[in-house]
Amino acid sequence: MATSDPPQLGDKARAALRVRGLSPRTAEAYLGWMRRYYEFHGRRSPRELGEEHLTAFLTHLAVERHVAASTQNQALAALLFLYREVLVMEVGWLDEVVRARRPRRLPVVLSRAEVGRVLGEMRGVPAIMASLLYGAGLRLLEVCQLRVADVDFDRSVLLIRNGKGGKDRQAVLPARLRGPLRDRLAAARALHEADLAEGAGWVALPDALGRKYPEHGRSWPWQWAFPATRRYTDRVSGQVRRHHLHETVLQDAVAAAVLAAGIPKRASCHTFRHSFATHLLEDGADIRTVQELLGHADVSTTMIYTHVLERGACGVVSPLDRLLVKEPAGAYSAGGLGWAL
């Protein structure tokens, strides 16, 4: 019996990514960098390439493509995965590759008044989703991928499944969102029942669960809390499914609301999460509690929010604000603040 041909490198990479449980988005990004590396060196086999080739590719990204340090490091991580996990090559020079240093950036944070102005410009489903970003400190995809079973009204918590790093955690369900969220789920259930009546009503399940309990794909608890408006047919199973609302819908709605509210900051969906953490710390919440709510692996990541509290830089009062200056006659008072300019 003839032996089958060995799988192509791309197929081996996909299999290795699945086995190690990387998220679909991470896997897609890694495959993209492997392909670009292959194309950059004239479609030569990565087995024939060495340290100088990897360095040339990373230099090209930094010098000619002007990518950020985080992007360059992601490309390096993808190629390390290629050599170590896919090709299974013992190449000592990989340990000597220098990672790009990421610049330290302070997060953009909205004041409470600014959050209210932005949310006040939003309507419908995006308004509820944006309120969850701020009220529960969720990431963009975490709110988009909420399922019905993840909303626990009795305990006032949201269950975040397979978050960043593959971790589960609990987030707070704001009391002000209980009513709107119940109404939203009622509308989603009516939509699901209409889909079932038409022979549809399927939803994508996590891999292991989908194989073990495929019938759960039509059950109500596994449906998306924020379903898309259109259905699609899965090419593998042939099931007529409904995806969750695409993240760009929320991103566009937030961008339009920030513009309409006249907020002069580079605010995005993730800004709500930054604001959630900062405002909790301003209210006296313990930083370990904030770390747990955000799902940070290291408290040092959460510590960044201590630098943007509404107490001035580093929590000090400017000496100018303590300066007492007697205004001479006819001096211009800057807004009546008590000093002469």
Q: Which of the residues are catalytic?
A: 139, 164, 270, 273, 296, 305
Cα separation of 17 and 82, whole Å?
Answer: 10
Cβ-contact 314, 307 below 8 angstroms:
yes
The secondary structure element, H or E, covering residue 271 is helix 269-282
Which two three-digit tokens encode residue 23? 């998220």
Cβ-contact 109, 274 below 8 angstroms:
yes
Cα separation of 73 and 201, whole Å?
Answer: 41
Cβ-contact 188, 223 below 8 angstroms:
yes
Q: Which residues contact 130 (CB under 8 A, 6 or more apart)?
A: 118, 119, 122, 250, 253, 254, 257, 269, 272
Q: Roughly how many angstroms between the first and final C-alpha of the chain, as a whole number? A: 93
Cα separation of 183 and 198, whole Å?
Answer: 23
Q: Which residues contact 59 (CB under 8 A, 6 or more apart)?
A: none
The secondary structure element, H or E, covering residue 159 is strand 157-160
The residue type at 298: D
Cα separation of 115 and 126, whole Å?
Answer: 14
